[in-house]
Structure 1
Amino acid sequence: MASKRDESSKQNSAWELNRRQLLRSIGFIGAGAGAVLAEHILQSNDQAEAAEASGPATETPAETPLAQAPTRPASGEIPRRPLGKTGVQVSALGLGGATLGQAKSKEEAIRITHEAIDNGITFMDNAWEYNNHRSEEWMGDALQGRRDQAFLMTKVCTHGRDRRVAMQQLEESLRRLKTDYVDLWQIHEVVYYNDPEMIFRPNGAIEALEQAKKEGKVRFVGFTGHKDPALHLKMLAYDYPFDTVQLPLNCFDASFMSFEKQVLPELSKRQIAAIGMKSLSGNGAAVKQGVVTAQEALRYALSLPVATVVSGIDSLEVLRQNLAIARGLQPMTQTEKQALRDRCARYASDGRFELFKTSKQFDADEGRLQHGFPPQSQTQT
């Protein structure tokens, strides 16, 4: 079993030293930094909750209170950034659990996880419901003997159910992940308009977050969602001390129901770590249609003031090409970001590349069923 919460700070420090020594000795494996992600990568990112990483020191002070003191990487290393006000730093590129569970085999998933860690990725994403729990099971196997080298996140998928269900799901996640604590536990998919009330009602999921922290089973807590900035702001209006919030951020978002414009400044003001997702717009359609390149899209995401990019990776090929973009990152300047936003604005304005905001196409089955909607296999809406 893994070390408990009170041992994690020493473990993180030891891991940082060991990681740097390892990287100096073996170097990095991967494709050239200029490579554009192939169609296979687009398919992987389609289903991942792809998060975006925080901005550089050259951003305006109003945009970057969460990223004013990132660890500057040596040449070829993955940048590390502050996770809000937690005192923890995480890798700017994270490993997505949704697509890890779609690797061709458990053995491949383990190889992906090990190579990711060896190359400086510390942030591990997951959720109780991903791939009928296979994602947690495979990641748990992969982290045996390496748990102290990872910042492990998973999500609770109550979707309106009570504290008891949430705690039961946590115990199941811990068992599958083969650990006795997770570093970050987030409420998954706040995407229905009554979700905030259900989460914060007496005996709701928010009470499970409190209980889990008191019991030492989680270190930090947050919530996720991809539907409407108004829902994120409604969650924040309860003034609960969340450590993190996960939200979709990409070069189209700024021009359509924008999380970047409406939610990101509020997170920065509150020093809540932003974890972006859907950097390729959820299904990569904009890249497939030649509107942007995958490298532009991921670099834009990595240039925003968020803590980490949770990248959809289901093969070593995808891992190595995503690493190539993140290593020694040169973030976009304000001018470069605005130019890309302007170029994408006419495509963004009708929401065609962000259907996760306007349809149920990207909503997970667990939430659909709890809210009385059919599973994805029975509908395309």
Structure 2
Amino acid sequence: MKYTQLGKTGLQVSRIAVGGYVFSGVNKAQNWNPYSPEGRAEAIHTIHTALDAGINYIDTAPSYGNGHSESIIGEVMKSRRQDCYLATKVRPYGMDKASVIKSVEDSLQRLQTDYVDVIQFHGGDYTREDFEHIMHGGPLDALLTLRDQGKVRLVGLTTEEAYSALDLAAAKSFDVIQVCYNLIYQSAARHLLEQAAEAGIGIAIMRPMTSGILQRLLEYIAPEWLAAADSYEVCLKFVLSDPRVHLINVGMRWSEEVRKNVDFVNKFEPSFDISQLPRLTAKIYETDDLRNGF
């Protein structure tokens, strides 16, 4: 497995991580139900397969199935806590210091561990009011208290909309940012990824495969593209080719998905730096002229 440094955190992480949402989401069409005894056993086997393959980072959240994902991962952590870095989350909205601390401590119980390596505010879009509440209304103070107690090592946040997290990223209070960034949602490339790189913040990616949205879209408007290429591999190539990205959270339900993704990551070598991709019309014209000798 290929590894890289997660910003300035000191953690050397595998390029892909086990994304924990799949251990809470039911997909009847694909015969996937992690709430059944058979599905739970399959999920636990998948996590063991990932750790055996060298994946050393697992990311989850208490909101994934009201703690169900954490409880599945906890079954593995009973015997393999030393084999990986463990990250979970806490919702900051409307939470005071005591509520945040209790939520994290409840997560630790479900995960069957005394500490997590990364605790993240589980956010979507952040308003200015959210920023003030997190920074001065108790949530950040709670995570710093937990860090002082040794129950968390590093503090992070997640965001669906990169632009809304710029102020939080600039606050110099966070070690890791997990952001939605993929082939069809690229706003982070224009600001947050650059800001994080300059500050040494570790960058983890959520929804690298677009959560299946690109594939569904292609079904409707360009099914021939789906037949011509493995769209999931194309999505993975995109994020693996951006040097500002350290860690890629991938939802993997079955062991064969783990083996396929690990094999792909180990073989793939980027041929283009995606951070240099033109993202404005003027830059497209300029680079087109340069490539054609003008």
1:313 matched to 2:252? The reply is: yes
2:139 aligned residue = 205
1:249 aligned residue = 181
Normalising by structure 2, we get a TM-score of: 0.82
Unaligned runs of 5+ in 1: 1-77, 346-381
The structural deviation recorded for 1:337 is: 7.5
Aligned 8 A contact 1:251 1:297 in 2 = yes
Percent of residue pairs bearing the same amino acid type: 30
1:330 matched to 2:269? The reply is: yes
The higher-RCO structure (CA 8 Å, 6+ apart) is 1
The structural deviation recorded for 1:170 is: 0.8
- Secondary structure in 2 aligned to 1:143? helix
Count of matched residue pairs: 260
Q: What are the superposed Cα offsets for residues 231-259 of structure 1, whole Å, 9 maximum, x if unpaired?
A: 1112123x2331100111112333xxx11
The structural deviation recorded for 1:280 is: 2.3
Using the TM superposition, name which of 111-120 and 328-337 deviates more. 328-337
Residue 335 to residue 259, structure 1, CA distance change in 2 (3 Å): closer
Q: What are the superposed Cα offsets for residues 269-328 of structure 1, whole Å, 9 maximum, x if unpaired?
A: 000001111222233334651377211111111222222111011122322222232123
Aligned 8 A contact 2:126 2:165 in 1 = no
Letter in 2 for 1:158: P
How many angstroms apart in 2 are the aligned matches of 1:138 and 1:215?
25
- Larger % of strand: which? 2
How many angstroms apart in 2 are the aligned matches of 1:252 and 1:101?
25
The structural deviation recorded for 1:161 is: 1.1
Q: Please, what is the CA RMSD of the aligned residues?
A: 2.4
The structural deviation recorded for 1:101 is: 3.1
Letter in 2 for 1:302: L
Residue 287 to residue 168, structure 1, CA distance change in 2 (3 Å): same
- Larger % of helix: which? 2
Decide which of 187, 195, 201 is 1:266's aligned counterpart.
195
Aligned 8 A contact 1:222 1:242 in 2 = yes
Unaligned runs of 5+ in 2: 26-31, 34-38, 219-224, 285-294
How many angstroms apart in 1 are the aligned matches of 2:235 and 2:17?
16
Residue 177 to residue 100, structure 1, CA distance change in 2 (3 Å): same
Residue 320 to residue 340, structure 1, CA distance change in 2 (3 Å): farther
Letter in 2 for 1:199: I
Normalising by structure 1, we get a TM-score of: 0.64
Structure 1 runs of 4+ aligned residues shifted over 6 Å read 339-342
How many angstroms apart in 1 are the aligned matches of 2:179 and 2:121?
12
How many angstroms apart in 2 are the aligned matches of 1:336 and 1:132?
37
1:145 aligned residue = 79
The structural deviation recorded for 1:180 is: 0.3
Using the TM superposition, name which of 302-311 and 205-214 deviates more. 302-311
1:83 matched to 2:15? The reply is: no
Letter in 2 for 1:253: Y
